[in-house]
Amino acid sequence: MSLVIVGSLAFDTIETPEERKEKIVGGSCTYCSLAASFFTTPKIVGVVGEDFPQETIDLFKKRKIDIQGLEFAEGKTFHWEGLYGHDPNQRKTVKLELNVFADFKPQLPPDYKGADYVFLANIHPELQEDIRVQFTNPEWMAMDTIAHWIENNRETLLQVLEKCNLFFCNDEEIKLLTDEVNLLKAGKKILEMGLAYVVIKKGEHGALMLGKDLVFGVLAHPCEEVVDPTGAGDSYAGGVMGYIAMTSSHSAQTIKKAVVYGGLVASFLVEGFSLETLKNLTLDNVEKRKNIFRSY
């Protein structure tokens, strides 16, 4: 069934203790849609400036990603600069240039409106809400966010969240959102808002998925060299949503499998710079790692 992914397309400048990459293509929608494309043919909603590389647009087309909802605006593409320390779980935003995102007023193309599955990837909660209301009757909606919006736009964020079926977050974000350090309790608070599932990503420790009467844990694939964690969370969600859309099911059994696949896709992402990795990754690689993953 059809999946629409809404999010950012960006240039990322990334500095890790080992190297610095200037303005490489990134963005939540970019990572998420490429990850989802292993399982389904997502439609995307976002905005890019005149400087966004044709090569990436060609990659979207090659992966059969529908770009009707992608706006090509005058000006520069959104630019984020981040700094990772010795601990790859901690990052600092050094610079944030909204550029074309500043005036983005998304309009869903007509044949996006009836989408069955909707994923609101990380962007400003106001934008998530503006887009959300344009869908006629989605069967299943999920969202992601970051600590920045929880701290600064909590009210709008909660408004979007309570319309969702599934929430993706990391441990830090859910603690911040619920003011609860225990992840089971924090997850239950989210479920009490009416959501069916919460997926709490825990970096190297894997993920915890909670639903009504359901606790499901997944280990992370062991990784010795975290090259760049940017996009891992987005590709995690993309893998999960792609798998759900592919199977056209949101039973607990499907979501469990989807969470395993999402984690596997993300495990490749942290081992290199994300777009390069997503370009070269195949579903066959993912399946192979699934087998290794199961055996340990």
Q: Which residues bind its own copies (CB under 8 A)?
A: 86-87, 181-185, 202, 204-206, 208, 214-217, 219-220, 222-226, 296
The span from the CA of 197 to the CA of 268, in Å, is 25
Nearest to 160 by CA among 6, 1, 46: 6
CB of 225 to its own copies, least distance (A): 8
CB of 184 to its own copies, least distance (A): 5
The answer to whether residues 237 and 142 touch, using CB atoms and an 8 Å cutoff, is yes
Decide whether 141 or 209 has the Cβ nearer to its own copies. Answer: 209
CB of 88 to its own copies, least distance (A): 9
Helix axes 171-178, 183-191, angle to 10 degrees: 60
Decide whether 121 or 174 has the Cβ nearer to its own copies. Answer: 174
Q: Which two tokens stand for residue 93?
A: 């935003």
Contacts of 132 (CB under 8 A, 6+ apart): 118, 120, 141, 160, 163
Decide whether 3 or 208 has the Cβ nearer to its own copies. Answer: 208
Decide whether 155 or 224 has the Cβ nearer to its own copies. Answer: 224
The answer to whether residues 210 and 188 touch, using CB atoms and an 8 Å cutoff, is yes
The answer to whether residues 245 and 40 touch, using CB atoms and an 8 Å cutoff, is yes
Q: What is the largest CA-CA distance in the chain?
A: 51
Decide whether 21 or 256 has the Cβ nearer to its own copies. Answer: 256
CB of 37 to its own copies, least distance (A): 29
CB of 286 to its own copies, least distance (A): 19
